[in-house]
Homo-oligomer: A and B are copies of this chain.
Amino acid sequence: MENFTYHNPVKIVFGKGMIAELPKLVPAAARVLLTYGGGSIKRNGVYDQVAAALKGRTLTEFGGIEANPSYETLMRAVEQARRDGCDFLLAVGGGSVIDGTKFIAAALPWTAGDPWRILSEQAPVPAAVPLGVVLTLPATGSEMNSTAVVSRLATHEKLFFSNEQVYPKFSILDPETTYSLPPRQVANGIVDTFVHVTEQYLTFPVGAPLQERQAEAILSTLVEAAPKVVATPRDYEVRANLMWCATHGLNGIIGLGVPQDWATHMIGHELTAFYGLDHGQTLAVILPGVLRAEAVSKQAMLVQYGRRVWGLTGSDPAALAEAAIAKTEAFFEAVGVPTHLSAYGVNAGEAAEKIRARLAERGQAFGEHADITPDRVAAIIRSRA
């Protein structure tokens, strides 16, 4: 096990009816900017719950934060928040709204030129406006971490930053808010959570059996819950378990002291930046390709994964590894997320070349051994035609 430091001060407030706790969580004197997305919270009752809980507080709104939140949109929110003197941000939505609000939080007190530098140069973030979260879409884990991913429309870039200043002060997780989610978002969220876990688990063993089992705990729970959420979408228990799995997928715990491989996410971000695929869709496409390309170096963990999560038997490691990858692919398809580019109308050869060129220009290589070079990325993309 490698050395590590872990400090996660997010307060989680979990369960039905917990939005009513907001008055205790948001400072009484705060000038709050409520941020949200396309407006589903106004149709499903979440907005009304938040408004009722914060009645009498100083509250302004910024709606319209899109999936893959854009720098362009978020800078408009920064301007509005400055104008209104907001000193607390309340993100009500899924990962895009939360990530976008983290960027707003960091950009608000920022004085060192264009805040895009926080993403493009990983410039230090000396301060941020405090933020809270009401989660409505389990997927990204952003509600309990300090990372945000932001896109720039003008340049087709999708970049991330991570800074302890932007840990939410609290996150309210009410599973009932997820009853009305469209099936496509639910499916994407399951895939996103699943891949967050595999990126921290399917690498190579370093003598960290507890972290491995904690990862398998999430994967097995997802495999069990996924068919149920399709069959009975208003089952509270299933929704609660999916929500808690998503948070644990990326609150940092399973990745402590172990190698990590974010290749699938990094390649997926490029597919979204160029072709607008949903984040979860890109992961379902790319993960099987990355695992097959790395099946030898990841063999020990793929075999363990196949046995423990999928109940595979047999003794040939290569066959077990391939069977585990095939199970993963079939799971994504069964959840309702296609795993090949053709299903999304994307030409794999063209995508491979575009992304190879950009990564080569940036000098990027991915994977726990940093050996997934731009050429190998291109081959992975072509393999997912």
A241 lies within 8 A of B1 (CB): yes
Which segment of A15-23, A77-85, A108-116 sits at the interface? A15-23
Copies of this chain, count = 2
Q: Does A376 contact B (CB under 8 A)?
A: no
6 more A-B residue pairs beyond the given contacts A1-B237, A210-B244, with a C-beta to C-beta distance below 8 A? A1-B240, A6-B12, A14-B257, A207-B237, A209-B221, A210-B245
- Chain B residues with Cβ below 8 Å from A31 are none
Q: Does A382 contact B (CB under 8 A)?
A: no
B14 lies within 8 A of A209 (CB): no
Closest Cβ–Cβ distance, residue A211 to chain B (whole Å): 8
Q: Does A5 contact B (CB under 8 A)?
A: yes
A257 lies within 8 A of B213 (CB): no
Name which residue of chain B comes closest to A6, CB basis.
B12
- Chain B residues with Cβ below 8 Å from A2 are 15
Q: Does A7 contact B (CB under 8 A)?
A: yes
Closest Cβ–Cβ distance, residue A233 to chain B (whole Å): 16
Q: Does A214 contact B (CB under 8 A)?
A: yes
Closest Cβ–Cβ distance, residue A350 to chain B (whole Å): 41
- Chain B residues with Cβ below 8 Å from A16 are 3
List chain A positions with a Cβ less than 8 A from chain B: 1-18, 207-210, 213-214, 216-218, 220-221, 224-225, 237, 240-241, 244-245, 248, 253, 256-257
> Contacting A7 at CB < 8 Å: which of B9, B208, B225?
B9
| Known contacts A3-B16, A6-B11; A217/B213 CB under 8 A | yes
Name which residue of chain B comes closest to A257, CB basis.
B14
Closest Cβ–Cβ distance, residue A212 to chain B (whole Å): 8
Q: How far is the CA of A18 from the CA of B6 in the complex (A)?
A: 13
Name which residue of chain B comes closest to A253, CB basis.
B253
> Contacting A218 at CB < 8 Å: which of B13, B210, B221, B244?
B210
- Chain B residues with Cβ below 8 Å from A10 are 7
Q: How far is the CA of A272 from the CA of B241 in the complex (A)?
A: 39
- Chain B residues with Cβ below 8 Å from A4 are 12, 14-15
Name which residue of chain B comes closest to A218, CB basis.
B210
Closest Cβ–Cβ distance, residue A209 to chain B (whole Å): 5
Q: How far is the CA of A64 from the CA of B17 in the complex (A)?
A: 49
B257 lies within 8 A of A15 (CB): yes
Closest Cβ–Cβ distance, residue A27 to chain B (whole Å): 16
